[in-house]
Chain A
Amino acid sequence: AQRVTQPEKLLSVFKGAPVELKCNYSYSGSPELFWYVQYSRQRLQLLLRHISRESIKGFTADLNKGETSFHLKKPFAQEEDSAMYYCEGDGLTFGKGTMLLVSP
């Protein structure tokens, strides 16, 4: 079965520190992977997708087929980055999510 794994339930960092939210997948072939974010009292929304290879709000994510990973990274965390982050594959399978807390 296709699976997406986010090993960390909570990641707590200080403002300005680097952030890496981990995501591993178990899809065969070429999966289409996404990161979604849910800020407090807001809808779940797309942050970025691997095929666009773009940087959104300073976040990037690279698909590593050798490691079957799609980790989300940001070099300098901001307090407004505090949110719930979900890794997702092919529209059907979400990871359990990682809560990112950025403290001042």
Chain B
Amino acid sequence: SQTIHQWPATLVQPVGSPLSLECTVEGTSNPNLYWYRQAAGRGLQLLFYSVGIGQISSEVPQNLSASRPQDRQFILSSKKLLLSDSGFYLCAWNWQNTGELFFGEGSRLTVL
């Protein structure tokens, strides 16, 4: 069966520090991968998605970047965090050409 792991679950970082959130999918190959930010009253905002290794599409210009160094690994990064980067980040995957998304447990980032 397929599983998705996301870590760390909780992160507290100072303004200006770097960020790396990691997401790994197991039990499948060549999945679509997604990073969302979930905020109360604003729903789920798609940040990045990837249809293959090294292929990243950005939906919203921001202080964040994403990379896909391996088929089932998706990383969300920042060189210098801003206060506004605080939030709950969700990684998700689905099979190519199908719709249902499978979500990780999320990472709560607090920037102080």
Contacts and interface: CB of A to CB of B under 8 A. Distances in A.
Q: Do A and B assemble together?
A: yes
Interface of A: 6, 9, 32, 34, 36, 43-46, 49, 86, 88, 90-97
Interface of B: 32, 34, 36, 38, 41-46, 49, 59, 90, 92, 94, 99-101, 103-106
B50 to A, nearest CB: 12
Given A44-B90, A44-B92, 15 more contacts: A9-B41, A43-B103, A43-B104, A44-B103, A46-B101, A49-B99, A86-B44, A88-B101, A92-B46, A92-B59, A93-B46, A94-B43, A94-B45, A96-B41, A97-B43
Contacts, number: 46
Interface residues of B, dominant DSSP: strand
Interface residues of A, dominant DSSP: loop
Contacts of A86: 43-44
A91 B104 contact: no
A90 B34 CA distance: 13
A94 B103 contact: no
